[in-house]
């Protein structure tokens, strides 16, 4: 019985690690996809990155469901089960946002002026960095709860940077001679990208509470 329990535990550990891997990988692919779009528009490479994120999102969904079912079925970690499930769901919605933003790029193909592209790239980089750091904090939550905060403060740092950058970008967009419809369109994309770092920050806030709950 004990052997079976540890086998099951090991499998679950691997699955949770895989979920975190999919989120982290999505962040990297998202950053690459934005880079592609900025340099090539909706090219085959961009489409390939988008497909990768779609696959990662599907894989994350499947794994999340498996972990959720197993945790309920085996009544595992009863004291923090709710927190862990809510955390995994939040991470899943971050992948959804990556996918959503890339779909917007793919379907609406915004015409981004050359001089603003580097800022869009930087914005995507900051959002991806905040998510990757959030994943480091989440890994720590599962293994070494005391070091969660070491990572979380970086998430806040990236989010703040992204906020500053998006404000600057908005100003620059509305200072251009583009028609208002284009300006609003460009602003929409900037806000969609920065929204991912906002989501990462919101999950980081939750994680702070969960970590405190685990240590007391």
Q: Establish if 142 lies at the interface with other proteins (CB under 8 A).
A: yes
The tokens describing 143, both together, are 């293994």
Q: Establish if 128 lies at the interface with other proteins (CB under 8 A).
A: no
Q: Establish if 12 lies at the interface with other proteins (CB under 8 A).
A: yes
Smallest distance, other proteins to C-beta of residue 70, A:
10
Smallest distance, other proteins to C-beta of residue 46, A:
37
Q: Report which of 107, 87, 88, 100 is spatially closest to residue 127, judged by C-alpha positions.
A: 100
* Residue indicated by tokens 């086998």: 7
Q: Report which of 202, 196, 200, 204 is spatially closest to residue 30, judged by C-alpha positions.
A: 196
Q: Given candidates 44, 73, 79, 181, which one binds other proteins under the rule CB under 8 A?
A: 79
Letter string b/e over residues 28-66, b meaning 16 or more CB atoms within 10 A of that residue's CB: ebbbbbbbbbbeeebeeebeebbebbbebbebbeebbee
- Phi (first) and psi of residue 129, to 5 degrees: -65, -40
Q: Establish if 144 lies at the interface with other proteins (CB under 8 A).
A: yes
Smallest distance, other proteins to C-beta of residue 17, A:
9
Q: Establish if 111 lies at the interface with other proteins (CB under 8 A).
A: no
Instruction: Map residue 80 onto helix, strand or coil.
Output: coil
HSE (CB half, 13 Å, CA atoms) of 57?
A: 19
Whichever of 18 and 161 has its CB closer to other proteins, that residue is 18
Q: Given candidates 30, 141, 158, 189, which one binds other proteins under the rule CB under 8 A?
A: 141
Q: Given candidates 20, 27, 63, 84, which one binds other proteins under the rule CB under 8 A?
A: 84
Which span (1-9, 36-44, 51-59, 126-134) binds other proteins, by CB under 8 A?
A: 1-9
Residues 148-187, mask of contacts with other proteins (x by CB under 8 A): ----------------------------------------
Distance from C-alpha of 196 to C-alpha of 206, rounded to nearest angstrom: 15
Could you give the residue ranges of the DSSP H alpha helices within 74-179?
A: 81-108, 114-143, 148-175
Q: Establish if 85 lies at the interface with other proteins (CB under 8 A).
A: no
Binding site for other proteins (CB under 8 A): 2, 5-6, 8-10, 12-13, 16, 75-80, 84, 141-144, 146, 216
């Amino acid at each position: 019985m004990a052997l079976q329990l540890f086998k099951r535990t090991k499998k679950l550990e691997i699955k949770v690690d895989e979920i975190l891997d999919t989120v982290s990988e999505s962040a990297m692919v998202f950053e690459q996809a934005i880079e592609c779009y900025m340099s090539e528009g909706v090219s085959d490479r961009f489409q390939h990155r988008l497909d990768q994120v779609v696959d990662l999102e599907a894989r994350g969904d499947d794994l999340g469901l498996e972990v959720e079912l197993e945790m309920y079925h085996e009544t595992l970690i009863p004291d923090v089960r709710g927190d862990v499930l809510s955390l995994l769901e939040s991470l899943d919605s971050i992948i959804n946002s990556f996918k959503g933003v890339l779909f917007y790029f793919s379907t609406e193909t915004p015409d981004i002026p050359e001089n603003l592209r580097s800022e869009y790239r930087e914005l995507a980089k900051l959002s991806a960095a905040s998510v990757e750091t959030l994943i480091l904090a989440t890994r720590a939550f599962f293994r070494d709860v005391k070091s969660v905060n070491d990572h979380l403060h970086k998430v806040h740092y990236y989010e703040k940077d992204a906020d500053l950058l998006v404000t600057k970008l908005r100003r620059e967009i509305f200072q251009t001679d583009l028609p208002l419809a284009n300006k609003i369109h460009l602003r929409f994309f900037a806000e969609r990208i920065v929204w991912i770092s906002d989501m990462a920050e919101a999950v980081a806030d939750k994680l702070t509470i969960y970590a405190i709950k685990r240590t007391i």
